[in-house]
Structure 1
Amino acid sequence: MEIQRTGFDNVEEDLLSIAYENDIPIVATNTSYFNKREEYEAHDALMCINQSTTVDAEDRFRLTPDFYFKTPEEMIDLFSDIPEAIENTLEIALRCSYKVATAEPKLPRFSGLDLDGEALEFQEQAKNGLKERLESFKVNDEKKYWDRLNSEINIIIEMGFPGYFLIVADFIKWSKKNNIPVGPGRGSGAGSLVAWALTITDLDPIRFNLIFERFLNPERISLPDFDIDFCQERRDEVISYVQDRYGEDKVAQIITFGTLQSRAVLRDVGRVLGLPYGQVDRICKLIPNNPANPTTLGEAIKGDARIRDESDQSPEVKKMLDIGLSLEGLYRNCSTHAAGLVIGDNSLQDFIPLYRDPRSSMPVTQFKMKWAEASGLVKFDFLGLKTLTVIDKTVQLIKQKTGKNIKINEISLEDKSTFDLLSSGNAIGVFQLESSGMRDVLRNMKPDCFEDIIALVALYRPGPMENIPRFIACKQGHEEPDYMHPMLEDILKETYGVIIYQEQVMQIAQVLANYSLGEADILRRAMGKKIKSEMDDQKERFVSGATDNRIETDKANYIFDLVAKFAGYGFNKSHAAAYALIAYQTAYLKAHYPEYFMTASMTMDIENTDKLSIFSNECKKMGIKILPPSVNHSLMQFDVQDNSVRYGLGAIKNASQQSMVKINDEVSKKRTI
């Protein structure tokens, strides 16, 4: 019989009587909702926040301050009159032998195959896929491709991941077969030749010098992680396919938790304490509002004397701030991960708690991503990328209006008109390159090869941006590149001596200090984390390897320190190359089919009046006429008519969408109003 002493003791006498009369062992327990007694007020406020009430409300549920986590000594003292209750608690604890452990990944079997069958199917698909790729894309050294493919295949099989690659390749092939646009790659996965052969990615990693070990390191075993971009409008179709393919009970979305942030927690606490709204609002506005780098409540109090003055002058405000400090960072609500899905080998409810979001037909894990992966579930990211939809709509419009069938993944990457457009800074609507700062860099850099776009995607971020002037100066011949050592020229020539990519860090270690690429990936991670003990070990290893290659110790130390500095903000080249390809594709369409590209772009931002204004101005600069909305000629979306952009009915402000749909229906039936 369980008994507690937390202030609700009115039934204890009856419980003890029942236990003694029926010879039931008594067990002392301690339900706890907070760690210390003094945290009671903060927890009470949290309950009120969840119940949408105030601390002064008379009819609400209350706990007592005794629901804190008591020490063994406190429990013994609390139940000194019933010592057997404590003894029985220990007895139960001794019987509990369960140990939480990280589970092995639980991937579904691809097409019901066993491990050996998966490995054979994987090899066959990869080799057939590369054969097809090489027939379409002529290369100078096919042996290099086959050697790399066989090496990757062996590593993937040895690590036990053929099934993972087959599953990803399956839903991507299904998507492409059903004309659902898929991105050319995302993240380090674009560095895998196997992924290219299986059509998971559309970027030749050998051509662009991308490294497989950056994605899957045989010397540091971890699950591969493909992040896949899909057309924003059709992503859900792919998810439905996966549910049908593997079973609805084996597929779930992943939960995410929203936390109480500094401003929000003060507003909530101020409300439940009954403080005047104006007073709370005034204090909240003293906290800097920067969602990208939020200021904690503690930092705000420390950094702003006005908040401290409010606290000193008002006990109520001090109480609000103290409770806010206790609650900040706690979970406030739950939602679903924007992209993550898990796929299990059996029904997920057998080994992970699930819940059903009322807004979705798909179950959601009650474990957040990190815990779900620790439970053995494998995450797949299905992301919706608007730009893929823009590209697809542009291509479909061109085909509809002109009959031309543009194969966007087969366009030349050496198109002069595309580079002329980028060099002019005319990049409004171009993926990743349309910000005003980026357009300025384009005008100064004047990119003339695809590698320049890759570099720009990687460079235009806080930290690496400081290297842009030197990159441009070296590219244009105003300064001489510094390769640090002749052995590194081949690695750094593409970026004019500037270390931009994480892969360059790995290659420098490989060439200069005899690292394997797996070891070099571990070095890259150590440099990124800047853990002194790891860095000291790696520096010793690097210098030793470099001196074996007849490089002076001082020079080796200098190069290591310089590489470590750049490695702190080096960018993943595989990701930069994949996104540079999307950027190039949008620039190509804008350069060659401007009215079609602008029409598709405006359709995808049809509800964003600010973007429509920017696009309209861009059309005027390009000499593209925008035709006004017309009940006889307009569609709901923007359209290309007479080499001009026809305004869409759905973009008319303050117009009833229902009325616009009716008009559009009439237009579709070719009736003239």
Structure 2
Amino acid sequence: MYLNVHSQYSLRYGTLSIEKLVEQAKTLGIEQMALTDINNSTGAMEFIRECQEKGIKAITGIEFRKSSGLLYIGIARNREGMKELNDFLSFYNLNSMELPDKPWDFQNVYIIYPYKPEHRTLKENEFLGIPYRDLNSLFGKPLSGIREKIVALHSVTVSNKIEHRLHTYLRGIDLNTLLSKIGKNDCCHEDEVFLRPDQLKKRYEAYPFIISNTGKLMNDCSSSFEKGSKNRKTFTGSAKDDKALLEKLALEGMEYRYGRSNREALKRVQKELAVIDELHFSAYFLITWDIIRYSMARGYYHIGRGSGANSIVSYCMRITDVDPIELDLYFERFLNRQRSSPPDFDIDYSWDEREDVQDYIFKRYGSNHTALLGTMSTFKDRSIIREISKVMGLPAQEIDSFTDPTKQEQNRNNPTFAKILAIQSMMQHMPNQRSIHAGGVLISEEPITYYTALDLPPKGMPTVQWDMYEAEAIGYEKFDILSQRGIGHIKEAVRLVLENQKTKLDIHAVSSFMKDPKINAKLKTGKTIGCFYIESPAMRQLLRKLGCESYLTLVAASSIIRPGVASSGMMKTYISSFHDPENVKYLHPVMKEHLQETFGVMVYQEDVIKICYHYAGLDLTDADVLRRGMSGKYRSRKEFDRLVQRFFDRAKEIGRDEKTTEEVWRQVSSFAGYSFSKAHSASFAVESYQSLFLKTYYPLEFMVAVLNNYGGFYQRWVYVHELQKSGARVHLPCVNNSETKVRIRGKDAWLGFIGIQGLESHFMELIPAERNANGPYRDLADLIKRTGVNLEQAIILIRLGALRFTGSNKKELLWEVHNYLGSKTVPKQSTELFCTEAKEFYLPELQTSVLEDAYNELELLGYPLSMDMFDLLRTSYRGDQMADDLSKHVGQIIRTVGNYVCEKPVRTKNNKKMWFGTFLDKEGDFLDTIHFPASTPAYPFRGKGCYLIEGKVVDDFGYPSIDVNKFAKLPIRDNPVF
């Protein structure tokens, strides 16, 4: 009798989770029901699994709506019917078309329209659904011709009246309107709850034929789910041929990586190949290899990382560049006979190459069988409070107060806030909207619409309607095709070195980079600006505190820098132990036995698994599930909580001390959610070394590449400063020398037109393209004629000095441009057969100044190039001590001046706010500051500029910083134009 059940996946409409609605149905004795979420099939497969577990017959379908109006409901007779419904919805989603008033002619689908008296002609598979509250509309009506077509349509959306109120809040959020303005048709009825089967039948007892019709329809429908991989099963078309090809490629690659006679490598390759074949993963490896083969043939550079780097087979096939023998990585972290979840490879490409790789995958493996992975964002703490407050119509000031963590105490007794918190507790973790995964791609053996309808997000590629957890539960192993700026930096720098210095680089010769003393010296001193993953203030400090000068130390640093580690105290413990390994105190002998390499600290995800296994006695499968759960990668909170309890129970059973266990768990739980796998950290470290090699030996080209790939952690001016510090002569944009991006010739670098605020992208590309096609611009008039640049755009170029080649100063050029473009008649863009000289006008002498130029640059670039920020100051004071001198003044109060780079706010254990600041001194060196809660309110950050800094020099493992007592932004000289 339940043909229209909604779950939470009817976004901002349904309130019941799949688990909860199936549990309720089981409790009430409901034996069969149909899940028909609104315009999606996100929960269909999960629903089938839950129903199979609870002994309920699952039927699936989709409710189709246009705006708030119900069009029809599709009920799948079988899996072919569900595919038809998914194909139908996918067609309209992928073509950005509105749903039609009449659906297609389905072969395995029943269509239910909302009952209307005018419905008379219905196809064999079409029915009319009527809620029991509308049965009076049948009284006295002639039903001949449609008597066998009317079915019970009792919708289920909420559990009770309280959840119906929650439903109205969800509708208000969805419609972006106040509760008072939500219309009757915008919400479900209060009676859309589960009833016992006998209660529901009683509601329709006056029309027994409706009960009969409904029963017949439902009895003709069924859904089932079979466990097992849904990925493409073979690469070659034959599992036997896949096995042979994978073995051939792995052995050929082993010779490339290790030479012909490495017995250890051969033994490990053969062991891995046996497991891969046994678990039917040959096709997965071969498809990944095929993707790499395509991208390398296109000249694309990739990084293979994640747990896949534990595999020597992937290393030999050039999927990854991390040697698992060198790092003692074990394959079982990636793939093992007991592993409960499928593995995946993470393949990073440059940000401007990834979409081409994805396009290849879709074309190579078929659009019917390929889709991007979706993701499901949920309602989060502060955002829920804000959304609820908005639909309640609260003023902005009050909403800000409710979302400010520092005002929780004063809001505690506020009845409105208490109400919001009650609603928030119900809404917490509910699905909010579907989105797109960062890079997951699915390649299916069957057409993917057997399992989901497809969306078309802004990426423009078909995307499944569920997330990675559901994909895993269904049986899909994703291929992660990701992008990052760091690879773009490396790729561009290699190209620029070839272009500028005629030198071809082998950027993959990483083993030699790791042994290079010059590169390791830069690593040890934290001179890493622009380098992937190791340029942030926190990472630069960590490198110096560790005195990091080796690959293995960098691998560890890449993991312990993760957000939660410092707050747990484990980062400090690691650094201390690193410098004094002889005096390490291990929490327990198990920690010494298994964590001696990392001084008793869990640095890697593998360490977490080791401790759960060896200390608490969990099996490896449960240990990995617990580790994944602490990283947020769990589907069932109940299962996760069970494993946490099992951790303590098993530890007690094998005689572990209770207090020691509590401390072990504290360390495990605080670290596991933020750590990398060792292989992942190793992959990052490889890329860091490649960046460091370029920065060490080709610093100009490298910094230009960083700028041309839109930087990294810092603002653009920091990279321009680093380019200057590397020895480049950096020039302002010039219409006769600059390209769209930064251009380098020898030691001269011209800033590009990108980055000029207010300059239209059309002219950023047109100006250099026209010059390259038809020669340099002769003067302002020539520029105007050939590009059609308008007055506003020309003024921007003049003020920034982009026409300085003319020999005229800016004010003369501004006068001139108004003569050309100040009237309504604008010279037409054209190529002249005969060049006519422009008339010359004689003007009085017009003066400009460097200070005026600097102000123009501040406005149009965001930073001055003609003079630095220190030269803009009214004071000539530059500080008593520079950054390089701080180590000599530890414990002393000093005063200095720093140019603001960035700041990072954090919360103390008492929930008070403090800051870490980063500045450049007059010499261009970095200095770091600490702003504790006591001093910050009186001396706040006030944005970009130079600051007078007074404070005590403190030292942390050889790294000096300033504990700030007083702090003030210094005034700059007045703009001479005003």
Q: Is 2:331 aligned against 1:206? A: no
What is the match of residue 435 of structure 2?
335
Unaligned runs of 5+ in 1: 290-294, 544-552
Q: Which residue of the other structure, out of 681, 701, 704, is the alignment partner of 1:599?
A: 704
Q: Does 1:588 align with 2:712?
A: no
Alignment of 1:86-485 (within 5 A): 86=211, 95=219, 98=222, 100-135=224-259, 142-183=262-303, 185-265=304-384, 268-269=387-388, 275=393, 279-288=394-403, 303-306=408-411, 308-309=413-414, 311=416, 327=427, 329-357=429-457, 359-411=458-510, 412=512, 413-465=514-566, 466-477=569-580, 480-481=583-584
Secondary structure class of the residue paired with 1:253: strand
Q: Percent identity?
A: 24
Q: 1:458–1:419: structure 2 CA closer, same or farther, 3 Å change rule?
A: same
- Aligned counterpart, 1:29: 153
Deviations 1:429-467 (A, max 9, x none): 222222212222222211121111011111112443323
Q: 1:61 maps to what in 2?
A: 185
1:500–1:566 Cα contact (<8 Å) kept: no
CA pair 554-251 structure 1, distance change in 2 beyond 3 A: closer
Q: CA deviation at 1:670?
A: 6.9
Q: CA deviation at 1:379?
A: 1.7
Q: Structure 1 308/441 Cα, relative in aligned 2: closer, same or farther at 3 Å? A: same
Aligned to 2:302, the other structure's residue is in SS state coil
AA at the equivalent of 1:281: A
> Separation in 2 of the partners of 1:117 and 1:343?
19
Once the 2 structures are TM-superposed, how far is the Cα of residue 257 of structure 1 from its aligned partner? 3.3
Query: Matched residues in 2 for 1:129 and 1:406: separation?
Result: 22
CA distance 1:26–1:623, shift in 2 (3 Å): closer
SS at match of 1:649: coil
Q: What amino acid is the match of 2:414? A: D
Task: Report the AA paired with residue 650 of structure 1.
Answer: I
- Report 1:12-51 matches (<5 A): 12-13=138-139, 17-18=142-143, 24=148, 27-51=151-175
1:503 maps onto 2:587 in alignment: no
Structure 1 residue 68: deviation in Å?
Answer: 1.7
Deviations 1:58-82 (A, max 9, x none): 9873456344213216424533544
Give the corresponding residue for 2:939. none
Amino acid at match of 2:720: S
CA root-mean-square deviation: 3.8
Tell me how far apart the structure 1 counterparts of residues 619 and 381 of structure 2 sit (CA, whole Å): 42
2:763 corresponds, among 654, 659, 664, to 659
TM-aligned CA deviation for residue 97 of structure 1: 7.4
In the TM superposition, what whole-angstrom CA distance separates every residue of 1:156-197 from its partner, at most 9, and x where no partner exists? 1111111111111110121112111101x3211111001101
For 1:11, what is the secondary structure of its paired residue? Answer: helix
Deviations for 1:508-537, whole angstroms, at most 9, x for unmatched residues?
Answer: 899x89x9xx95465455576683553257
Cα offset for 1:567?
A: 4.1
1:147 is paired with a residue whose SS is helix
Q: Please state whether the residue corresponding to 2:155 is helix, strand or coil.
A: coil
How far is 1:45 from its partner?
Answer: 4.5
Q: Which amino acid aligns with 1:154?
A: A
Task: State the 1:390 CA deviation.
Answer: 0.6
Give the whole-Å Cα distance in 2 for the aligned partners of 1:283 and 1:644.
55
The match for 1:629 among 726, 729, 733 is 733
- Aligned residue number for residue 19 of structure 2: none
Stretch of structure 1 that moved more, 152-161 or 211-220: 211-220
2:646 pairs with 1:534: yes
Q: Secondary structure at the match of 2:559?
A: helix
Aligned match of 1:546: none
Higher relative contact order (CA 8 A, sep 6+): 1
Contact 2:386/2:399 (CA < 8 Å) preserved in 1? yes
Cα–Cα, structure 1 residues 328 and 519, in superposed 2: closer, same or farther, change >3 Å?
closer
Question: TM-score, normalising length from structure 1?
Answer: 0.82
The CA distance in 2 between the partners of 1:617 and 1:210, in whole Å, is 40
The one-letter amino acid paired with 2:453 is P
For residues 484-499 of structure 1, the aligned pairs below 5 Å read: 492=595, 494-499=597-602
Q: Secondary structure at 2:401's aligned position in 1?
A: coil
Looking at structure 2, the residues matched to 264 and 522 of structure 1 have their Cα atoms a distance apart, in angstroms, of 34
Give 3-state SS (helix, strand or coil) of 2:341's partner: coil
- Cα distance between partner residues in 1 of 2:607 and 2:427: 44
- CA–CA distance in 1 between the matches of 2:595 and 2:423? 54
Instruction: Name the structure 1 match of 2:679.
Output: 574
Post-superposition CA distance 1:287-308 (Å, at most 9, x none): 447xxxxx8xxxx99x444375
Q: Take 1:635 and 1:351, find their aligned partners in 2: how far apart are those partners?
A: 49
Partner SS for 2:505: coil
Q: 1:193 to 1:268 in 2, by over 3 A?
A: same
Cα offset, 1:367, TM superposition: 3.0
Q: Give the SS at the match of 2:497.
A: helix
Q: Please state which structure has a larger fraction of its residues in helix.
A: 1
Letter in 2 for 1:374: A
> Structure 1, residues 632-672: CA drift from partner, whole Å, max 9, x if none?
21111112233243211112222222222222113433722
Q: Residues 376, 11 of structure 1: CA spacing in aligned structure 2 closer, same or farther, 3 A cutoff?
A: farther
Q: Give the superposition deviation at 1:35.
A: 2.3
Aligned AA (2:139): E
Structure 1 stretch 360-369 or stretch 471-480: which is displaced more? 471-480
Q: Distance in 2 between matches of 1:149 and 1:347?
A: 34
Q: CA deviation at 1:155?
A: 0.7
What is the aligned length? 630
Larger Rg: 2
Query: What code does the residue aligned with 1:453 have?
Result: L
The 3 A distance-change label for structure 1 pair 118 and 540 is farther
Distance 2:593 2:168 in 1: 64
Task: Verify: 1:639 aligned to 2:743, yes or no.
Answer: yes
Cα shift at 1:5: 3.8
